[in-house]
Amino acid sequence: MKYLHDNGLKTWVSMEPYPTPNLVRQDLTAILDKISFVDKIIFGKLNYNIRVTEFQDNKNFYDECANTVIDFCDKNNIDYHIKYGTQKKDNKRTEKIFKRAVSSEALSFAV
């Protein structure tokens, strides 16, 4: 992937679903360092898994991970997207997209 990036292609990495430490122990900073050349990073939590909710303080864990990704990307001039529901405070732009989609679906069912 680095070869492709170094030769002018846009590269990105999707880091999702990112597991909680009770499932897999990982060093997020080490992973980010390995992909520091990419143009964009997408980060999101693991959804629909009961073991994630069993991890004590999982909401803070994902919030801290998202902040680590954001800080890393800002420092390295990398675009990023934090998936909806990963942080305690969600991206308002993403919320608007969901609201529009729900409104459109409601209208199409009403017809």
Q: Which amino acid is residue 93, in one-letter code?
A: R
Report the distance separating Cα 42 and Cα 54, nearest Å: 24
Q: Residue 44: how many CA atoms within 13 Å on its side-chain side?
A: 13
Residue-wise pLDDT for 60-107, tens only, equals: 999 999 999 999 999 999 999 999 889 887 666 555 655 665 555 555
Report the distance separating Cα 79 and Cα 40, nearest Å: 4
Mean pLDDT along residues 50-69: 93
Report the distance separating Cα 82 and Cα 55, nearest Å: 21
Residue-wise pLDDT for 12-46, tens only, equals: 999 999 999 999 999 999 999 999 999 999 999 99
User: Three-class SS string for 34-95?
Assistant: HCCCCCEEEEEECCCCHHHHHCCCHHHHHHHHHHHHHHHHHHHCCEEEECCCCCCCCCHHHH
pLDDT of residue 89: 79
> CA geometry: angle at 15 spanning 37 and 84, to 5°?
120
